[in-house]
Structure 1
Amino acid sequence: MRDRFINTPAAYALGMFAMMVPSQAFLSYFNYYYVEKLGLGLALATIARTIYLFWDAVNNPMAGYLSDRTKTRFGRRRPWIMGSIPVFMLVFIMVFSVPRGLEDTGLFVWLVLSIVLFEGVATLLWVNYGALFPELFQGERLRAKASAVQQIYQIVALLIGTSLTPIIYGAIGFGWMSVSYSLLFGVCMIGFVLSIREREDIPQAAPMPMLEAFRVTLKNKPFWTFNIANSFAQTVNGLLGALMPFYAKYALHISERYVSVLMAAVFVSVIPLVAAWYYISRKLGGLSSWRLAFAVYGLAAVPLWFANNLGEGIVAGIIAGFGMAGFLVTPALLSSRIIDLDAERTGHRREGIYTAVAGFITRSSGLIAALAFWIVGLLYGYESGDKPGPHPETVFRVLISAVPFILLAVSFVVSLFVKLSEKRISGEEEGSVGE
């Protein structure tokens, strides 16, 4: 029975679940924890996030390059993942376990140190995990199935990381919440590592020299256009998760204990909506459905502006969830196909470096989110939970509705410049996902 589970979509998706629970809790609540709960100034929080992103720019490509060059009897990716598991657990606990008595400067230093360490080890995990997908799942049909299963696991993890987190930290505090999630991560991630075997039947050419590897990657225009479009949409994902606690408090005027209800309504609705988008992608093909997802997601963010209570917030959140589901489902086939085309052209399988650079581009969306938070807060006088200013409700309506609409409009326009043909992208040469 165990052998039948090896290298299945469910086995691979277990890794996504393991990493996504603490990662989503981090993205959704570290800003809220430091700014709203601990009183760190918004300007210092933005500077810390900027430092985090500069570090991300350095470590992501290097992690991918080193991963591609690794050769052990356990594979190229698995050793990096196994070594990162205990470090990730410890650093995640560090983020949410701030020593008592720290003022602004001390809080800022702790935040910078903890998120830089978190980003470093998270990069090793995500790069090596993502690099396994194109290798383990060959052909458009299998990739479509693996992507769908992966997104279901991801949404369950999103639900836990966003909706359950307020209940947990409300009951036992942020520190013990981080301990609980670290243990869950450790158990599930070990199960993932034991259930994955890297393929030995794919021929590997000698690794490219470093400068040549980066030069070829930088010249791949479809890759850059695809990921730049995704980065703006990823900003919206981050904003929706991170701003829900603020939006619930200031715009919907509901207490913290109902934040979980609001989050659950959004993310539970995404699970069946993933199936709807899978069907849409089969009918329209990868490229067209990917572009459509941006347009739908942008329009779906608009109702969040008009919600005034929990009930209206739930309805608006479900509508936004439909757009989010489209963005979760559609990019995977395109990304894998771009990597395949690069391998056909260069003779090198370079999943690691492409996954790493793509990860940096999309995670740079955090800087856009941080700048949007800072600029809109500055315009309306919001500094922190201690100094919310005269118009905190407007701040968070703009950030959760107007800003996402603008960013997704940019994503849609950029997506029109992807030059790969619909035929190749949708997999018609190997069996189209639309069949």
Structure 2
Amino acid sequence: MTRPVRTTDADVPRRANGTPPWRYAVGMFGTSIPINLAKGSVILYYVDILGMDVRAYGIVMTVYALIDAVDNPVLGYLSDRTRSRFGRRRPWLAVGAPLLAASMVALFSVPSGLEGVGLVMWFAVFAILTEAFDSLLNANYGALLPELFPQERRRAVANGLRQGFQLVALVVSLAVTPVLTTSVFGTEETTEGFRTTAILYGVLACAVILLMATGVRENPDHATEHRPAFFRGIAAILRNPMFWTVGLVGACYGVSMALVLSGVQLYVRYSLGLDVEYAFYLQGVVIVVAAGGLIAWTRLVRHYGALRIWRIAFAVLALSFAGLFFATGLVPALIAGAAVGIGWSGMLATNDLVVARVLDADAAAHGEHREGLFLSAFGFFGRLNGVVTGLALTSLGLWFGYNSGDDPGADPGLAFRMYLCVYPFVLTMIGAVAARFVTVPEPTADRPEPEPAR
């Protein structure tokens, strides 16, 4: 008698669902370039070069958070209810990519001579549109991860690959950007380089997102279900305690990294006393170390599970910010940056997997696949980034006298040590402690991934 063969996760065909992991993962490269250019350079562009007051920046970010609290769930809801021959998510990805690129280019194309209220209004309109289209893309892109890769071990691999592509995008959109904007296409004190760089990145992002969107194969079973109701879905999400615990703790990580990304160029200029283009080296070290660490953290996740490693990574990231505060030159800053890269890669490898467990549990409990709505609701916590970044920047004016590049105050170096190091340290320490008390369901037992529609 022939003994039955036990099927394990490793035995599942690599393309059982019709989508190779790399084809899905490469989309992260395209979605990351525009928004990280905006987050990493908008303060330098508007506040330090064009002279917009930091208080205006803070007000715009606060107003946007209120708008986003409404538009994010609506965008996710529309995605969940979409039924088309191309799937639920792919049409939105194809439409959202050029819209995000266009708004990002406009954000860095302020007409010559525009200042005062006109400058603030231009910033408000295109900053809000850029963030909104980024929300549209990421709600749909993120919803595909649990759908295409339902097993946590394989999901960890797909997530590791996409985070690796995000790090490559960060090399392009953050580390290379200061060189392009100040040396190749422009100068330290002008804005022409930002517009040219934005156009280049916009074209690249569209091409990559469309490559991904045309190659993924959504699960047809999800699209044949009845369409979820908006208010009933929102109510169920708000009643889910995991939405609040995972969302708020994850926001401590997200806000911290938003502060780092938005402040690194000014930290290099004022705290280290170097030209902005030296941010290339600091950002490059962080990203290269994070890329290498991502491999190790992903292996730990596959062995010990996402939740346990998530808690450890939070603590590692929190402790890493102390070194940046005490760095007095480029070399000490590079060493401290490497420590940040290690902690950051741990969060990249785990945070989305913890969120995916929440989505799995919601689908199992309610019989509806409303990943778009749920992720958009989670996006509300992510959009706290803009509010906290604005408040943190405003506090530099209140406490250190930094109001703009035209009025930097007596000690802008200490101001941006506070912004880049102390604020993230406090937030991530809160997150590391709170993560010890967060619980999410164990991953579903291994099961074959769905076959693609014929």
1:228–1:362 Cα contact (<8 Å) kept: no
Please tell me whether residue 50 in structure 1 is matched to residue 66 in structure 2.
Answer: no
The aligned counterpart of 1:230 is 250
Q: In the TM superposition, what whole-angstrom CA distance separates every residue of 1:130-157 from its partner, at most 9, and x where no partner exists? A: 1111111121121011011111101111
Please tell me whether residue 138 in structure 1 is matched to residue 150 in structure 2.
Answer: yes
1:251–1:394 Cα contact (<8 Å) kept: yes
Measure the CA separation in 1 of the matches of 2:25 and 2:160. Answer: 9
Measure the CA separation in 1 of the matches of 2:128 and 2:351. Answer: 28
1:204–1:348 Cα contact (<8 Å) kept: no
Deviation at 1:89, TM superposition (A): 1.9
Which runs of structure 2 are paired with 1:197-216 in the superposition (5 Å)? 197-202=217-222, 204-216=224-236
Q: In the TM superposition, what whole-angstrom CA distance separates every residue of 1:199-235 from its partner, at most 9, and x where no partner exists? A: 1144743123221111101011112211110111111
Measure the CA separation in 1 of the matches of 2:105 and 2:17. Answer: 31
Deviation at 1:351, TM superposition (A): 0.7
Please tell me whether residue 429 in structure 1 is matched to residue 441 in structure 2.
Answer: no
Q: In the TM superposition, what whole-angstrom CA distance separates every residue of 1:327-369 from its partner, at most 9, and x where no partner exists? A: 1111122211111111111111111111111122122122112
Choose from 205, 218, 237 the match for 1:185: 205
Q: Quickly say closer, same or farther: Cα 1:313–1:270, change in 2 above 3 A.
A: same
Measure the CA separation in 2 of the matches of 1:348 and 1:415. Answer: 28
The aligned counterpart of 1:91 is 103
Q: In the TM superposition, what whole-angstrom CA distance separates every residue of 1:359-381 from its partner, at most 9, and x where no partner exists? A: 22122122112212211331011
Counterpart residue identity of residue 101, structure 2: M
1:46–1:371 Cα contact (<8 Å) kept: yes
Measure the CA separation in 1 of the matches of 2:121 and 2:109. Answer: 13
Counterpart residue identity of residue 58, structure 1: V
Measure the CA separation in 1 of the matches of 2:123 and 2:34. Answer: 17
Counterpart residue identity of residue 108, structure 1: V
Please tell me whether residue 282 in structure 1 is matched to residue 298 in structure 2.
Answer: no
Which runs of structure 2 are paired with 1:120-199 in the superposition (5 Å)? 120-170=132-182, 171-172=184-185, 173-199=193-219
Please tell me whether residue 78 in structure 1 is matched to residue 98 in structure 2.
Answer: no
The aligned counterpart of 2:431 is 411
Match of 1:330, SS state, is: helix
Match of 2:126, SS state, is: helix
Please tell me whether residue 100 in structure 1 is matched to residue 112 in structure 2.
Answer: yes
Measure the CA separation in 1 of the matches of 2:77 and 2:444. Answer: 31
Deviation at 1:73, TM superposition (A): 1.0
Measure the CA separation in 2 of the matches of 1:208 and 1:193. Answer: 23
Counterpart residue identity of residue 432, structure 2: F
The aligned counterpart of 1:249 is 269
Measure the CA separation in 2 of the matches of 1:85 and 1:152. Answer: 20
Q: Quickly say closer, same or farther: Cα 1:203–1:95, change in 2 above 3 A.
A: closer
The aligned counterpart of 2:370 is 350
User: How many positions carry a matched residue from both structures?
Assistant: 425
Match of 1:180, SS state, is: helix
2:87–2:218 Cα contact (<8 Å) kept: yes
Which runs of structure 2 are paired with 1:330-341 in the superposition (5 Å)? 330-341=350-361
Measure the CA separation in 2 of the matches of 1:228 and 1:120. Answer: 21
Match of 2:423, SS state, is: helix
Deviation at 1:85, TM superposition (A): 2.2
2:314–2:428 Cα contact (<8 Å) kept: yes
1:232–1:362 Cα contact (<8 Å) kept: no
2:249–2:431 Cα contact (<8 Å) kept: yes
The aligned counterpart of 2:30 is 18
The aligned counterpart of 1:30 is 42
Counterpart residue identity of residue 307, structure 1: A
Measure the CA separation in 2 of the matches of 1:204 and 1:363. Answer: 32
TM-score, L = length of structure 1:
0.94
Structure 1 residue runs of 5 or longer lacking an equivalent are: none
Please tell me whether residue 378 in structure 1 is matched to residue 362 in structure 2.
Answer: no
Measure the CA separation in 1 of the matches of 2:427 and 2:126. Answer: 29
Identical counterparts, % of pairs: 35
Deviation at 1:281, TM superposition (A): 2.4
Measure the CA separation in 2 of the matches of 1:5 and 1:93. Answer: 36
Measure the CA separation in 2 of the matches of 1:366 and 1:284. Answer: 34
Measure the CA separation in 2 of the matches of 1:247 and 1:343. Answer: 44
Measure the CA separation in 1 of the matches of 2:230 and 2:17. Answer: 36
The aligned counterpart of 2:281 is 261
2:322–2:421 Cα contact (<8 Å) kept: yes
Q: In the TM superposition, what whole-angstrom CA distance separates every residue of 1:303-338 from its partner, at most 9, and x where no partner exists? A: 001111111111111111111111111112221111
TM-score, L = length of structure 2:
0.90
Structure 2 residue runs of 5 or longer lacking an equivalent are: 1-14, 186-192, 448-454
1:381–1:388 Cα contact (<8 Å) kept: yes
2:76–2:372 Cα contact (<8 Å) kept: yes
Match of 1:410, SS state, is: helix
Match of 1:102, SS state, is: coil
The aligned counterpart of 1:369 is 389
Deviation at 1:16, TM superposition (A): 0.7
Measure the CA separation in 2 of the matches of 1:110 and 1:6. Answer: 44
1:273–1:325 Cα contact (<8 Å) kept: yes
Counterpart residue identity of residue 167, structure 1: V
Match of 1:301, SS state, is: helix
2:58–2:389 Cα contact (<8 Å) kept: no
Please tell me whether residue 314 in structure 1 is matched to residue 326 in structure 2.
Answer: no
Deviation at 1:187, TM superposition (A): 1.2
Q: Which deviates more from structure 2 when the two are superposed, residues 193-202 or residues 157-166?
A: 193-202
Measure the CA separation in 2 of the matches of 1:428 and 1:59. Answer: 32
Measure the CA separation in 2 of the matches of 1:78 and 1:203. Answer: 12
